[in-house]
Amino acid sequence: MADTMQVELVSPDRLLASVEAEKVMLPGADGDFTAMPGHVPVVTSLSPGAIVIVNGSEETEYLIAGGFAEVSGAGISVLAEFASLRSEATPEMFASSLEAAEKSLDGLEKDELAEATRRYGNLKMMIETLGRAA
Amino acid sequence: MPSLKDLKVRINSVKSTRKITKAMQMVAAAKLRRAQEAAEASRPYAERMTTVLSNIASGNRDNPEAPQLLRGTGSDQRQLLVVCTAERGLCGGFNSSIVRRARVDITRLTAEGKDVKILCVGRKGREQLRRDYGHLFVDSITFEGLKRMSYTQAEQVASPVLSAFASDEYDVVTLYYSEFKSVIAQEPQALQIIPASFEPVDGDAAAGSNSTYEYEPDENALLADLLPKNITVQIYRALLENAASEQGARMSAMDNATRNAGEMVDKLTLQYNRSRQAAITSELIEIISGAEALNG
């Protein structure tokens, strides 16, 4: 089993990261999980939250506003609608995503509503945390 | 025969036109590079998206529970044509060729008795289509004064399309834009975005990865989540391709214009010099013959 795997983080605008990593922590739709080399192939949608890419003692943290990830034997591709380095992120960056999430709450039924509310909650929490840190 | 002064004025006016077209060409060249970079930067995302989606979709096309965005509504009666053009002219046949492509389809679809509606993106397309097909417009979106296309603009176009589809207003949505082949070649394209069509994955990739994935949440939920995103990404890609094509077309159009203006200046200068010389000669003849007459 390989010790590292290829991790790619892309947003519609650009390729944010393409690195080797030992493990990656992802905010999956059904709960956070950590992927390591040899992880079962999975396609999952992601909630708004933080992605941590770990390689040795190096940790890089990115914030995303949702998206999805494809984990395969060869590596991980994360497709985020909006992504930014944690250190460069500002609450304003996510304001439009929050607005969109809030709007999407209208007219949803039980299950979808619960899901959308959770997304909304995550985003809001993320923005507040960022706001405090700034 | 124009007078010397008229010629001088014309030469100067053509010269300043040449300056303007030259400047526009250089601006377009700079913008083209940026547009191309943006188009390239967006490619990895779009490619991954397509791979993942076609993996899931290939197994689910006949699944009756799959989202309508994939399956279609089972009819092709109500068509929406999204025509993407530029905001500005002076770029050769760029806008016209997209509009022409769309017109062909509008005529064909109307002849087949389909209900055609048009959504215009970009000011130029709206202007060209308004006279003949104004009654088919549902809306038009313009990005006037916008410096750079971003994902937000794609969402702006995608969201009304998606919500109209969700409320069952259309069966088929087709996107018209111009694909950037090279600076001198841009090809108008028609791309059907709803129902989604995916090219089958190549043998290797399909065999290796197809059914081995786990899906979280389940496949249909994932499809329902991804398909609208894919529409937005497709529109985003079309907008970026369009932006690059527009600058490419403008660049070559302005290059032509600059060259033509140069030729014009040469021709006029020749004419100017000739008439100047003719004037001098005739003046000389007058003086000499005057002097001859006095001496005589």
Instruction: Quote the CA–CA distance of A38 and B21 in Å, as a whole number.
Output: 58
Q: What is the pLDDT of residue B206?
A: 43
Kindly indicate whether the ipTM for this predicted assembly is greater than 0.85, answering yes or no: no
Element (H, E) at A9: strand A5-10
Q: How far is CA A85 from the centre of its chain?
A: 11
B44 to chain A, minimum CA–CA distance in Å?
7
Fold of B30-250: Pyruvate Kinase; Chain: A, domain 1 (3.40.1380)
Q: What is the pLDDT of residue B205?
A: 45
Would you state the structure tokens that stand for residue B112, as one six-digit string?
């087949």
* Residue from B195, B238, B200 nearest A12 by CA: B238
Instruction: Quote the CA–CA distance of B123 and B84 in Å, as a whole number.
Output: 9
Q: Say yes or no for a CB contact (<8 Å) between B236 and A11.
A: no
Residues 6 or more apart whose CB falls under 8 angstroms from that of B105 comprise B81, B174, B176, B190
Fold of A5-86: ATP Synthase; domain 1 (2.60.15)
Please list the pLDDT of chain B residue by residue as tens digits (296 residues): 788 999 999 999 999 999 999 999 999 999 999 999 888 888 888 888 888 888 777 766 666 677 778 777 878 889 999 999 999 889 988 999 999 999 999 999 999 989 999 999 999 999 999 988 988 998 888 888 777 788 888 888 998 898 888 888 889 999 999 988 888 888 998 988 888 777 654 444 444 444 567 887 777 788 888 888 888 888 998 999 999 999 999 999 999 999 999 999 999 999 999 999 999 999 999 999 999 999 87
Would you state the structure tokens that stand for residue B32, as one six-digit string?
């083209």
Task: Say if residues B67 and B225 touch (Cβ distance below 8 Å).
Answer: no
Q: Which residues of B are catalytic?
A: 91
Please list the pLDDT of chain A residue by residue as tens digits (134 residues): 457 889 989 888 878 888 999 989 998 888 888 988 888 888 888 888 889 999 888 888 898 888 888 888 778 889 988 888 877 777 777 777 777 777 766 766 666 677 777 777 777 777 777 766 65
All structural domains of chain A with their residue ranges: 5-86, 90-133
Chain A within 8 Å of B56 (Cβ-Cβ)? Answer: yes
Residue the block writes with tokens 């709960």: A31
Pick the CATH number of B4-21+254-291 from 1.20.58.110, 3.40.50.1860, 3.30.1280.10, 1.10.287.80: 1.10.287.80
All structural domains of chain B with their residue ranges: 4-21+254-291, 30-250
Q: What is the pLDDT of residue B255?
A: 95
Q: What is the pLDDT of residue B208?
A: 43
Give exposure, B33-43, as e/b (b: 16+ Cβ within 10 Å). eebbebbebbe
* Residue from B220, B17, B294 nearest A112 by CA: B220
Q: What is the pLDDT of residue B83?
A: 93
Q: Say yes or no for a CB contact (<8 Å) between A41 and B213.
A: yes
Residues 6 or more apart whose CB falls under 8 angstroms from that of B211 comprise B59
